[in-house]
Amino acid sequence: MKRFIATFAALAALATPALAAEGETHAPEAYNWSWEGPFGTFDDEQLQRGFQVYQEVCASCHSMDLLSFRNLGQPGGPFEYLPDLEHEGELINYPNPNDNPVVIDIASRYTYTAIDPETGEEIERQGIPADRFPNPFANRAQAAASNGGAVPPDFSVIVKARSGGAEYIRSLLLGYDSEVPADITLLPGQHYNPYFAGGVLAMGPQLFDGAVSYTGDTPQTAEQYATDVAAFLAWASEPHMEQRKRMGLGVMIFLLIFSILMWLAYRQLWANVKH
């Protein structure tokens, strides 16, 4: 027994430094999101703040090719309900997101090139809700050239595409570590982040306390920005989550009522049959 304990202790001593090995990738930090569980929904105000962080910070490098402005006003989207200016404290919904004034306003701040139907010339026009989010770079080569050779990934489905999802995004944004392990060498433009596979990332820290001005009294901290933008990206990756959950619940209730009816019918049918 003594020998067993000694061997075990020796093995444990050997294994501990290995576990804390330098350059090891950390698992994302757990976070309690509002949309978890069968009844969880997105928090619209959080999605709005997350969109603001994306727009003001991330959009200069990361595209969201699959998103149109109108998606922001669709059922389940960040701007589905707007404060009703005529009735204080009430919310208003625009069934057609193309009529949603906030969506129209966001789209109109961008310009797109179009063809003038009369002259055939290229013209600049204001964005409309049906337009896709603009891409910060003309093409992949330009994106790579502007970022030290690394292309910033598109964000349309990033939360679904990465193991750890929103928690990974949040941890990565907050996880930069200035103490670089000895076995990692950083080239110019590279940063150490233990939440990124391999630890070496071409994106530097993006979020700093106070960098984005929120209108409400939500804390303006890097942690809050990271949480909000991760929530927004989670919504973008699955904009119909709330409908999907409602449908699932409806199906379960239907099946329950249907089973009860079938059971009652079965009892009725066989009531007078000896068996």
DSSP one-letter code for 192? E
Q: Binder to ligand HEC among 72, 107, 169, 174 (CB under 6 A)? A: 169
Q: Binder to ligand HEC among 61, 67, 231, 236 (CB under 6 A)? A: 61
Q: How far is the CB of 58 from ligand HEC (least distance, A)?
A: 3
Is 261 in a helix, a strand, or coil? helix
Q: How far is the CB of 146 from ligand HEC (least distance, A)?
A: 8
Give every CB contact of residue 78 below 8 A, 6+ residues apart in sequence: 44, 47, 48, 50, 51, 72, 232, 235
Q: Count CA atoms closer than 13 A to 234's CA, side-chain side.
A: 28
Q: Binder to ligand HEC among 28, 35, 46, 57 (CB under 6 A)? A: 57
Strand 91-93 versus strand 111-115 pairing type = unpaired
Applying the rule CB under 6 A, the residues between 177 and 236 that interact with ligand HEC are 201-203, 206-207, 229
Size of the site for ligand HEC (CB under 6 A): 20
Tell whether residue 106 is a contact of ligand HEC (CB under 6 A).
no
Which x/- pattern, by CB under 6 A, does the window 129-168 give for ligand HEC? ------------------x--x-xx--------x------
Q: Binder to ligand HEC among 103, 104, 172, 231 (CB under 6 A)? A: 172
Applying the rule CB under 6 A, the residues between 232 and 271 that interact with ligand HEC are none
Give every CB contact of residue 148 below 8 A, 6+ residues apart in sequence: 188, 189, 190, 202
- Residue 29 token pair: 């930090």
Our CB check for ligand HEC shows the closer of 81 and 214 to be 214
Our CB check for ligand HEC shows the closer of 51 and 94 to be 51
Tell whether residue 67 is a contact of ligand HEC (CB under 6 A).
no
Q: How far is the CB of 215 from ligand HEC (least distance, A)?
A: 19
Tell whether residue 58 is a contact of ligand HEC (CB under 6 A).
yes
Helix (H) / strand (E) containing 220 = none
Q: How far is the CB of 255 from ligand HEC (least distance, A)?
A: 39
DSSP states of 29-90 as a string?
PP---TT-STT----HHHHHHHHHHHHHTGGGT---TT-BGGGGGSTTSTTSEEE-SSSTT-
Place of tokens 């000694």: 6
What are the angstrom distances between the C-alpha of 120 and each of 11, 46, 131?
Answer: 76, 43, 20
Spatial distance between the Cα atoms of 272 and 275, rounded to a whole number of angstroms: 9
Residues in contact with ligand HEC by CB under 6 A are 53, 57-58, 60-62, 147, 150, 152-153, 162, 169, 172-173, 201-203, 206-207, 229
